[in-house]
Amino acid sequence: MEFEIWWLLAIPVFFSLGWIAARVDIKQLVSESRSLPRGYFKGLNFLLNEQPDKAIDAFIEIVKLDPETVELHFALGNLFRRRGEIERAIRVHQNLLARPDLPLEHQVHSQYELGQDYLKAGLLDRAEETFNKLVDTQYSAQARRALLEIYQREKEWPRAIEAALALQESGAGGRQKEIAQFYCELAQDELVHTHPDAALHLLDKALATDRTNVRATLLMGDAYLAKADIEAALLAWRRVEHQSVLHAALVASRLMDGYRAVGRSQEGVNLLKNYLAETASIDVLEVLFKAVAELDGMDAAKQLVSDEVRRTPTLLGLDKLLEVRLMDAPPDIWPELSMVKNLVHGYTQRLARYQCSHCGFKARQFYWQCPGCSHWETYPPRRTEELNVMN
């Protein structure tokens, strides 16, 4: 009882202290607002009336009278940039940099904000020039990250590697996955120009940077194939399963073609059946269906699909099952079965997509770098429905 009475007495005390604190804060706020120049309220009024150009002019006048209001310009420039009014953001930051009496700290900050403006506007040359001036300042990490983004947009992979390494050395976090992907991009360019040896050299660097990089291993098999060394290609593609069995779906078609080329189709079928047993995949099933049909006949291929749908029932699997059932459907039920097949297929087109785990961007094909958010290795090698089944 004494404890409850004590708290009852404490309530009005705490209320009084809060009221006193509020009075002090209000007095301080009123005092600070009286010390602000009239131009501040004039500029604020222009902003509220959606007259940003006049607001900028008003705030520039304030800066001339009181350099402490430079932060107001930064806030205003950021506001314009977020609204997509890049030209106005650039003008704000250029006006600040044009001031001969601007303190060094604010000069550097203005330079950084101007670089962000150029980057948002897609003026990559200007952005690169601006951020290069900041690599030895307190904005070094931010500038190097921006330069890395620029080099990726421009597909300047050697410079992207240099920028990523510089970020690592500065203590801004590991960039091994990105660097390995940059080497893969270079290797892929070499393969396009039929330089498999140069590609293999770059892929060795990629795997030395990140030994878990599936793309490098997959491309290494492609490089050996370009050299007509199918056995070496098969060995490379087989290594994918040791890095990530889920990614085996991406290499299933290559493996089957390789085993078929060396006259060991049954070995390829057995391997893909093991992959399918370990983790369901419509892509592996598609490759297996064709291979089994070639080796053991269409009845065996149909049975394969039927067994897989029973084991792992999905709409993608049902779509494939309806496809094979239509092949020998009686004429009297063929129209109805075909209609069901078309309805299911239309729906599964939305499920047979890859989805970025970072931004949610969906795509019909698999990407190593998301087209939506530009992050690397954020696409699981499974269709969206298969991911839901796995979860």
Cα-Cα end-to-end distance for the chain: 54
Residue list, annotated binding site: 356, 359, 370, 373
Backbone angles phi, psi at 354, to 5 degrees: -95, 145
How many CB atoms are closer than 10 A to CB 183?
28
* Spatial distance between the Cα atoms of 353 and 345, rounded to a whole number of angstroms: 13
Residue list, annotated binding site for Fe cation: 356, 359, 370, 373
